[in-house]
Structure 1
């Protein structure tokens, strides 16, 4: 069995050293210390998408819509996530739906108003559920956007759409914000003391090309709509993530697998140290410890940890033989990770071909 473990959010740049104090992760320490580490590319998701044979740039919104059961085969799609904007010292700080509630009735009313107002502009807003909105366009927008995770808790101004049509989209967003601000849904929310829905965050633009079934028998294990959409587009098998590595090992057949464990991603984006520590301890107990034991027993022939540092995606590869590397100096994984990020002698790129 060959296992690839994608760990978005495992590291963040310039973290306070106190974050790692009294944080016991013996299995992760062993995995990092015994592995061979290889740089894979600057953008982790783009690297994985390329290895999977997906179109570039990745049509994130269209694939996510497909994964949520929407018909994403026509038009150009963007995420249009509902957001609240909070003023702070001349900035507008973005809060996503993880920071407020929104009912389906509220969502339907707001989207109906948006679709009526922008119908002549060719904009069609579509919802998969109360907080997952999309925008479908008849043609590609000449702009570049910033993923939502890179804006959470941050000022929106330097991260607004850029490109040839940027000013056009800035005007549309201003118009949209005025419409939402005056909507009766926000009047009710204001009286109830709930955060107002000020805007949408547009990102992940792209259109789906014709489906390309994969010939590689890689088994995906993931819950996010993006990965569900990737599996559907490639006609690739996908399963929901089990609760822990022990259950996964007990039920998993042979072959090659890619598991996406996003438990740390939101905490890293929000720079929430407490939540990140709790998530890492759970990963240590539920995944890293049982996988280390399975590797030592030979139940896993190769384990690749795929994690993103400040300089891009790194693949940390292990085989059962690593259990004999007892001479290697014992160091916490985060100290070794910092050393790796400044190293110029990492091994050649790890071959990951999942087309």
Structure 2
């Protein structure tokens, strides 16, 4: 009895040790070496079993030959088990190597995703407040392109605003940070901040009933509602510059240059109005997720072509709206590269705001 107690204690310790390693190997720490760790686990289990077996039953006997020698008893039993464990280790090495490779690749992918998220956060455009007007005059004539950087609410005394809409002419909701949402809310008649008469939206729906979805580049002109009194806007030209499809969302239409030309033509066709200035946002760079640099290039090129190729036009100024630092930088780069423009003046105050 005095011998059995320490033997049982040793066997129990081996079992606990084997169980602990076994549990740890199934967790994250055992990735890439799970099969290798099964070897010491197996040895702990079998050693404990051997100690108990040959202590409780001392007459038990196992005999075999190894390397030319004859071995017997518990030693033979343990050797057989160790040989089996060594073979298991060798067979499991390729699988552990594969697991290590998969784990390393997963960690690399996770790191790249984290870096991408950080880059996206750093590159997120900053919304601009205030307003700065940078004027560029055409070298021939008195016409000009003006870059209005900042909050649309600070733009005043531009005759016609152009509004980028989808081919269904569905205006944004009041709370959305879009040109369409701004025009809809500020063009409506309100009482204590609540819309009581959705003037621009309702007129647009009335003019497009039975005609939607419209072709890309289609324009519809409406009144400006309350914006006439608050911002001096005479008319709104809505342009189908974004198209949507089920399950994929909205995207910018293919020919933004045509949208610009159609919008400017529609502004000049307004009956009873002599239009001197038109506001153009960067069509499709909001919900259409279009690339800002390419869109800025296309819109500036189309606006300048319109002004230079139509000597009879009464239009004197095209104002391009840049609501973020990214849009401002892209437009400035395009305008500064044009050799047929010369900077005229810059005025206003601009600051960044947190979204």
Is the TM-score greater than 0.5?
no
Q: Which has the higher contact order (CA 8 A, sep 6+)?
A: 1
TM-score range (shorter-chain normalised) is: under 0.3
Question: TM-score, length-normalised on structure 1?
Answer: 0.24
Question: TM-score, length-normalised on structure 2?
Answer: 0.24
Question: Higher helix proportion, which one?
Answer: 2
Structure number, greater radius of gyration: 2
